Structure 1
């Protein structure tokens, strides 16, 4: 067995505890290119794992994230995939809600939890319905930022539905060169079921040198190149996450100011 196939290479992001505030919307494109992934068998279009091959494929995920309250946001995802000669294809959809610990609690770290549920089509994922519970812990220490997401993924329908939760941790660290540029690294993994962790070769593990650009409060930019270190992981991946924030309260205020000038 290998680590559960799911939607991990469609949205490569380590979550922080900060969320969108009410009356703001984040539109984010998660662009993932797989430069060296699973190969097709004899031109069938399928890899040895029974799924569509990933080599030289491009994944684009559209995320719409909305602030609900001071402690809650909600997201909707659309997963797509493009492969040479086969065009663009819809892969699946997910919904996600994230809660955060209120600042008035004065905890020494940022904390929250994300709950994700969704569908991905057969041949793109061995598990078509999945649920993820992802605790979130982060901390700013001077110029350093650290985030840890010890996620737990459960197959509701598919190859691994009879297994328990799989452990899929994600880690991020970054260092602020200045107020606009942050460099660091990210780690993504899936170790398999908590009750029976897979041997190293069957786990999924990826390391990403990454750069974050903070050019404006309205934009979020993250870039990285990933290296897979196990036989069950795509070998080379690049990602570019581009997010645009829309502050509806500010826009309405600006419109009102213009009207009465």
Structure 2
């Protein structure tokens, strides 16, 4: 990776994805699930090149499979709630339950006629100490997006907060995510997703201690009820897992 590209990444979107922690790697769009409908998603991530030893009591990520089930229910045109169940599997360690989160989300109603889509989610939950130095966390995720012809972008300037664990004293940490894509056809969109975290908002971590990941991605729009996202990501600092393969398969049910 060239130094020029690394600098571009740094100045455009500094950070990492600590709240996701390679379990649910996704840049959110502003839209919510329709009322009386349910979205079920399977997030599958394989870390081909990650940490190889226990670090601070946290299990290594190298060659780990992370499977996350996300179930989201729409309650109003502007409100949904999602539930996450995180799991991890690794040779010699077996298959483990990692934790669970709940995520209510509100969005600006279409009747407001804003020039961009806007929503905000609050994700709160628990993850076992074996898999995270922080066991109880809160994520505030503002979401702004826009479709312009074939082009699409979404910005998630996320704030993370630990309530129990090593990062409690750090307060809120800044973890921006960004997506940019182009509809190559009616069925396929090619894009780039960025995930990062700079550290505490009161004073960012040194660059080497931050995390930066970029995923070239494909979104397959096979039918309105389906959601399919595929990507291969690379990390750019020593604190980031270097190579991750991820895919998301989701289906909207009319109940």
TM-score, length basis structure 1: 0.90
Unaligned runs of 5+ in 2: 1-14
C-alpha separation in 1, matches of 2:117 and 2:100: 28
Asked if the contact 2:17/2:196 (under 8 Å) is kept, the reply is no
C-alpha separation in 1, matches of 2:229 and 2:32: 17
After superposition, what is the alpha-carbon deviation per residue over 1:139-182, rounded to whole angstroms, capped at 9, x for unaligned?
A: 01110000000000000100011121000000001100111100
C-alpha separation in 1, matches of 2:118 and 2:16: 27
Asked if the contact 2:57/2:129 (under 8 Å) is kept, the reply is no
Partner of 2:174 in structure 1? 167
- What does 1:1-261 align with in structure 2 at a 5 Å threshold? 6-40=19-53, 46=54, 48-248=55-255
Count of matched residue positions in the alignment of Structure 1 and Structure 2: 241
C-alpha separation in 2, matches of 1:107 and 1:246: 28
C-alpha separation in 2, matches of 1:11 and 1:164: 23
Secondary structure of the equivalent of 2:28?
coil
C-alpha separation in 2, matches of 1:117 and 1:242: 23
Secondary structure of the equivalent of 1:162?
helix
CA displacement at 1:6 relative to structure 2 = 4.2
Unaligned runs of 5+ in 1: 41-45, 249-261
Asked if the contact 1:153/1:165 (under 8 Å) is kept, the reply is yes
C-alpha separation in 2, matches of 1:126 and 1:86: 18
Larger Rg: 1
Asked if the contact 1:3/1:202 (under 8 Å) is kept, the reply is no
Which structure 1 residue ranges, 4+ long, deviate > 2 Å from structure 2? 2-8
Secondary structure of the equivalent of 1:9?
coil
C-alpha separation in 1, matches of 2:18 and 2:134: 6
C-alpha separation in 2, matches of 1:157 and 1:144: 41
Q: What is the alpha-carbon root mean square deviation over aligned residues?
A: 1.3
TM-score, length basis structure 2: 0.92
